[in-house]
Structure 1
Amino acid sequence: MKLNFLNVSLAIILLLCAVVIAPFWKSISWGIVLAIIFTPLKVYMQKFIKNDLLSSLIVLVLMVVLILLPFVFLITIYSSQINSIVDFTKKAILEYANFNLPFLGSIKQYTVNLNTQIIDFLTKNALSVFSYTYKTVTDLVFALFVAFYLIKDKDRFLAYIASFINDKQTFEKLKDTIRLSLKATLIGGVIVALIQGFLCALGFFIVGIGGFFIWTAFGAIASFVPVVGTALLWAPASIYFLLTGSYLKGIFLLVWGGVFVGSVDNYMRPLLIGSYMRIHPLLLFFSIMGGIVFFGLIGIFIGPIIISLADAVLSVYKKEKIS
């Protein structure tokens, strides 16, 4: 009776804990990812700085700098190359508005009042934009908060988790699997994003669209968008060229984006990650896609980790069954 009561109480308490923590699961997940990535840096720093709190704080500052650095870089590039993009956009709008097509007859009216429409849109949606920005910032702060304490108290957290697992060898294997999977996904993701951004900008450069570096940055960011990816950039440009009569440029961008840029994500990411992990590239591909669909952007990491853990647990189970 006592055992049954204890089991029921434990189940209820764990369920309530899950309900309390659920609103912050994304921040916690990103915090765990950041902690695993930056823990080796803390281990290295402790060779010179023995104080645990101080070394953890320095790592936290470096995390903030490394997270903000891409945004500063993007803003710098944006301010230096925005004129070429604005000129191309204005030209596209004006030419688009002059098409002699029946279903585009009202485009002129919209483009004349474009500034007013943008201001009205921003005014009406200012609260939504502010709410989204506020949520993103708070999620980032919570993630950094989680990462800091996981880095600082790593040994305590690992010892607590290990206390529930009798087989220490299995625990070490699962821990190494998560670390290696995350490392592989991060390296694969960053390399693929940079390659896709570069190829997208190169395609734009070939057809005469300026702003090479800013398109590289936008392409790298767009590569992380679930399902569509860099098509957010090259598809509208291709449609514009096709509608304005530049068929060669339009078809080139369509083929370049769909075949070359798209194949990098479909084939290179699984191959790069698979070089670190003993999982078939096809299974890895579906784990990444499924992770993104189910969990959002964090699914890029969660998907491969789940598949890697499943593979590790099954191998342990098979080993025990044989023995």
Structure 2
Amino acid sequence: MKNKMNVTASHWVLIFALLFAAFACFLLVEPYMNSIVMAFILSLLMFPIHEWIENKLPNHKNIVALLSCIVLTFIIVMPLLLVFSAIMQQGAVFSQNLYQWVTGGGIQEVIAHPWVKTALKFINNYLPFDAINAQNIAQKAAEFATSLGSNLVATSAKILGDATNFLMNFFLMLFVLFFLLRDHDKIIAAIRHILPFSRSQEDRLLNEIEKVSKSAVMGSFLTAIAQGAAGGFGMWMAGFPGLFWGTMMGFASFIPVVGTALIWIPATAYLLISGDTTWGLFLAAWSIAVVGSIDNVLRPLLMQGSAGMNTLMIFFSLLGGIHLFGLIGLIYGPLIFAITMVLFNMYEEEFKDFLDGQDNS
């Protein structure tokens, strides 16, 4: 028999006051919401390691939580520093080589290629664009090559300048993560107590949030890492700086629809036009067969089974999440969709008799 409660005027006042206070609290923490959400996601991913440490050091919750945060720091920060250093080094070498190639007449050779002439003629004759002049292309390429080195230095300086902000957000995330790991049981118990659902409904909702949070991270970021590694290997085999362009392909994989093609198609075209037909065909085949299959197979595989979300829903949750929230939307989007699906299923079960009656009326 379900519990029933008579809602009085004082109850409504309390509810509205609570909602207003909750909204005010949200405004206070809103600038730090991304750090809080990432701490929540990482707590789910780190919990198996945290439990293992906790089994080794029972009755030492503070020390265990601190050790878990230290392990996470070494897992994230140290590889990032090494990769960033290598990327800057390869990027500097690439910018120098590009400048020498452009100033040495390389761009003129490309423009003089029959394929390029045919493509420019087709574009100017049949497509509704302003006429594209080959000399303008050469001029823009020379300007780009000249400014690439200085832009790379400026970007590096900006990243280093933002390091303080990054470290502040990172340590804030670690601070939140410490309490999430230490007081995990208390937090879950408090959430269960506050939610006005049955225990089975609470289990479904909390389990789905945990599952989707993990799958969003695994599906998006692990796919990007895998595509970046595979794409970097292919670019390295074709003669490009592997780590630099592999990292660029990893970032490009977050872009819906286009993805890593933003990197490998121009690289393939360059190889074909410059006469390296074998490596151009290899890079195209490798990117389509290996890099592309990672996105088509691995991402849906890691994100499958979330509240009955099919591939189309996953696609729009990622697309809409990026549009509304930026990169963090890769987590927010699927999470919002999944929670909505669970709540919809709970609504359907709760009002099953009424909905069946409406269908039969």
Q: Shift of residue 109 of structure 1?
A: 6.8
Q: 1:90 and 1:259, CA in 2 relative to 1: closer, same or farther beyond 3 A?
A: farther
Q: Shift of residue 129 of structure 1?
A: 5.3
Equivalent residue, structure 2, for 1:22: 30
Q: Are 2:260 and 1:194 equivalent residues in the alignment? A: no
Q: 1:92 and 1:196, CA in 2 relative to 1: closer, same or farther beyond 3 A?
A: farther
Equivalent residue, structure 1, for 2:119: none
Q: Shift of residue 60 of structure 1?
A: 0.4
- Structure 2: stretches of 5+ with no match in the other structure: 1-8, 113-133, 354-361
Q: Are 2:111 and 1:102 equivalent residues in the alignment? A: no
Q: Shift of residue 157 of structure 1?
A: 1.5
Equivalent residue, structure 2, for 1:44: 52
In structure 2, the residue corresponding to 1:298 is in which secondary structure?
helix
Q: Shift of residue 56 of structure 1?
A: 0.1
Q: Shift of residue 186 of structure 1?
A: 2.8
Equivalent residue, structure 2, for 1:118: 150
CA distance in structure 2 between the partners assigned to 1:80 and 1:163 by the alignment:
54
In structure 2, the residue corresponding to 1:286 is in which secondary structure?
helix
Which amino acid in the other structure matches residue 145 of structure 1? F
Q: Shift of residue 87 of structure 1?
A: 6.1
1:226 and 1:293 in contact (8 A); partners too: no
1:140-289 pair list within 5 angstroms:
140-166=170-196, 167-205=198-236, 208-224=238-254, 229-238=259-268, 240-241=270-271, 257=287, 261-262=291-292, 264-266=294-296, 268-274=298-304, 278-289=308-319
Q: Shift of residue 227 of structure 1?
A: 6.2
Q: Shift of residue 5 of structure 1?
A: 3.4
1:84 and 1:210 in contact (8 A); partners too: no
Which amino acid in the other structure matches residue 142 of structure 1? L
Q: Shift of residue 322 of structure 1?
A: 3.5
1:97 and 1:107 in contact (8 A); partners too: no
TM-score by length of 1: 0.80
Q: Shift of residue 262 of structure 1?
A: 4.5
Question: CA RMSD of the aligned region, Å?
Answer: 3.7
CA distance in structure 1 between the partners assigned to 2:140 and 2:313 by the alignment:
46
Q: Shift of residue 63 of structure 1?
A: 0.9
Q: Shift of residue 106 of structure 1?
A: 3.6
CA distance in structure 2 between the partners assigned to 1:314 and 1:301 by the alignment:
20
1:97 and 1:104 in contact (8 A); partners too: no
Which amino acid in the other structure matches residue 60 of structure 1? C
Match of 1:62 among 56, 71, 75: 71
Kindly tell me the number of residue pairs found equivalent between the two proteins. Answer: 319
CA distance in structure 2 between the partners assigned to 1:253 and 1:91 by the alignment:
24
Structure whose CA Rg is larger: 2
Pick 1 or 2: higher relative contact order, CA cutoff 8 A, min separation 6: 1
Q: Shift of residue 113 of structure 1?
A: 5.8
1:225 and 1:297 in contact (8 A); partners too: no
Q: Are 2:337 and 1:304 equivalent residues in the alignment? A: no
Q: 1:212 and 1:108, CA in 2 relative to 1: closer, same or farther beyond 3 A?
A: closer
Equivalent residue, structure 1, for 2:19: 11
CA distance in structure 1 between the partners assigned to 2:189 and 2:331 by the alignment:
24
Equivalent residue, structure 1, for 2:164: 134
Residue deviations 1:60-96, cap 9 Å, x none? 0011111113314414644886687456534543323
CA distance in structure 2 between the partners assigned to 1:187 and 1:134 by the alignment:
28
**Greater mean alpha carbon deviation, residues 282-291 or residues 67-76:** 67-76
Q: Shift of residue 235 of structure 1?
A: 4.5
In structure 2, the residue corresponding to 1:296 is in which secondary structure?
helix
Match of 1:295 among 311, 320, 325: 325
CA distance in structure 1 between the partners assigned to 2:144 and 2:15 by the alignment:
66
1:92 and 1:240 in contact (8 A); partners too: no
CA distance in structure 2 between the partners assigned to 1:261 and 1:227 by the alignment:
14
Residue deviations 1:106-129, cap 9 Å, x none? 4587479648x8289839x96x65
CA distance in structure 1 between the partners assigned to 2:92 and 2:15 by the alignment:
66
Match of 2:41 among 24, 33, 40: 33
